[in-house]
Amino acid sequence: MARKLACLFFDQPSTHMALGDQMYEVLAQMAGLIICGIFWRIKQPMGLAADDVRIRLTSVVYNLLLPALVLLVLWRAPLDLDVIKIAIVAAAGVIAGMLLARVVYGWMAVPGSVAGAMILASAFPNATYLGLPVLESTLGEWSRPVAIQYDLFACTPLLLTVGMMVGSAYGDGEKEKHPLLAVLKVPPLWAAIIALLLNISSAPLPNIIEGWLEMMAAAVIPLMLIALGMGLRWGNFTRSSIPVMIPVAVIQLILMPILVFWLAQVLELQGELLAAVVLEAAMPSMVLGLVICDRFKLDTALYASVVTLTTGLSMITLPIWLEILI
């Protein structure tokens, strides 16, 4: 890590600059889509409230378009030991972020609804909806499976099991009796299972099905970035809330990628694959956590604000991570 940092300041090859410029260009394009969502929240065209539109957009993506993307990518992705390593690294990052946040917010003695929301925000990165376009645009199409594997083989299962247990423990909403049942209700996970079976059996991907899946998959990223903009909230940035949100930003954008960087090297992930995994860990807080906060009556408004904060800061930290790693 020290050598990488030294190279960043004293030896910047043209490839570093090119990738850095490309990262800024990609982030600017994504910011444009996020701003569209923010504009909708402010103006509410045709009287349609941003939160209502966001829920419907994310429902379509989550239940129809994202499974198509998962099926398309994992059907053709190479399957080797690296898939297991990615899942291990991702799970370790999530669990470490959760444990560290639990210590920090226990020490800060904040209300349970706040602590639960901040623990979730510290642990779960926006691995698919932001991570996928960042990786694909900067590292190439080969990195698409990394983003999906990082999310679906670790982050999402942990969110719907351990994350729900955290929500149940810290919140005042319904108590989760069988968190494992939630995993069985996730369409992208079923799409991943089907895709892996087709991949292992070497089933051919017909052109007509490939084209159909590509059409649906193409809509995932723009719709989710617009939905992300609709969910961003600025009203809770107050003197009292900023100190509560800062630990999330530090854990999510700095400490978690450092841990993942170290563990990935221990597991002998190298080169651009190492860079892809660390960039995934460096993504801002996951938007899907809002669903857990709503369900268990955690501080949803504060969670939305910390997503806003970490998303904004990630526009600065992600290019730095890319230049350190490549």
What is the per-residue pLDDT across 245-303, written as a single tens digit (0 to 9) for each? 999 999 999 999 999 999 999 999 999 999 999 999 999 999 878 778 888 889 888 89
In the structure encoding, which two tokens stand for residue 251, read together?
Answer: 């854990």
In the structure encoding, which two tokens stand for residue 198, read together?
Answer: 């087709």
pLDDT above 90: percentage of residues in the chain: 45
Q: What is the 3-state secondary structure (H, E, C) of 145-161?
A: HHHHHHHHHHHHHHHHH
Q: How confident is the model at residue 13 (pLDDT cuts 50, 70, 90)?
A: very low
How far is the CA of 206 from the CAs of 144, 151, 158, 203, in angstroms? 20, 27, 34, 9
In the structure encoding, which two tokens stand for residue 262, read together?
Answer: 């170290």
Query: Which is more confidently placed, 91 or 222?
Result: 91
Query: Which is more confidently placed, 231 or 50?
Result: 50
In the structure encoding, which two tokens stand for residue 291, read together?
Answer: 């669903």
CA dist., res. 54 & res. 52, Å (int): 5
CA dist., res. 130 & res. 128, Å (int): 6
Quick one: which of 321, 312, 226 has its CA closest to 280? Answer: 321
Residues 296-325: tens digit of each pLDDT: 889 888 898 898 899 889 989 999 998 888
- The overall average pLDDT reported for the chain is 86
Find the mean pLDDT for residues 217-227: 86
Q: What angle is formed at CA 220 by the lines to CA 43 and CA 276, rounded to 5 degrees? A: 115
In the structure encoding, which two tokens stand for residue 236, read together?
Answer: 């809770």
Q: What is the 3-state secondary structure (H, E, C) of the chain?
A: CHHHHHHHHHCCCHHHHHHHHHHHHHHHHHHHHHHHHHHHHHHCHHHCCHHHHHHHHHHHHHHHHHHHHHHHHHHHCCCCHHHHHHHHHHHHHHHHHHHHHHHHHHHHCCCHHHHHHHHHHHHCECCCCCHHHHHHHHHCHHHHHHHHHHHHHHHHHHHHHHHHHHHHHHCCCCCCCCHHHHHCCCHHHHHHHHHHHHHHCCCCCCHHHHHHHHHHHCCHHHHHHHHHHHHCCCCCCCCCCHHHHHHHHHHHHHHHHHHHHHHHHHCCCCHHHHHHHHHHHCCCECCCHHHHHHHHCCCHHHHHHHHHHHHHHHHHHHHHHHHHHC
Backbone conformation region of residue 271, classed left if phi is above 0, alpha if psi is from -120 to 50, else beta: left
**pTM of the model as a whole:** 0.84
Q: How confident is the model at residue 18 (pLDDT cuts 50, 70, 90)?
A: low
Specify the amino acid at residue 57.
L
pLDDT of residue 87: 95
Has residue 235 got a pLDDT over 70? Answer: no
Residues 56-109: tens digit of each pLDDT: 888 888 889 989 999 999 998 888 899 999 999 999 999 999 999 999 999 998
Quick one: which of 15, 89, 145, 136 has its CA closest to 257? Answer: 89
Task: State which of 183-187, 208-212, 220-224, 228-232 shows the largest mean pLDDT.
Answer: 208-212
- Strand partners for 285: 125
What structural domains does the chain harbor? 14-325 (1.20.1530.20)
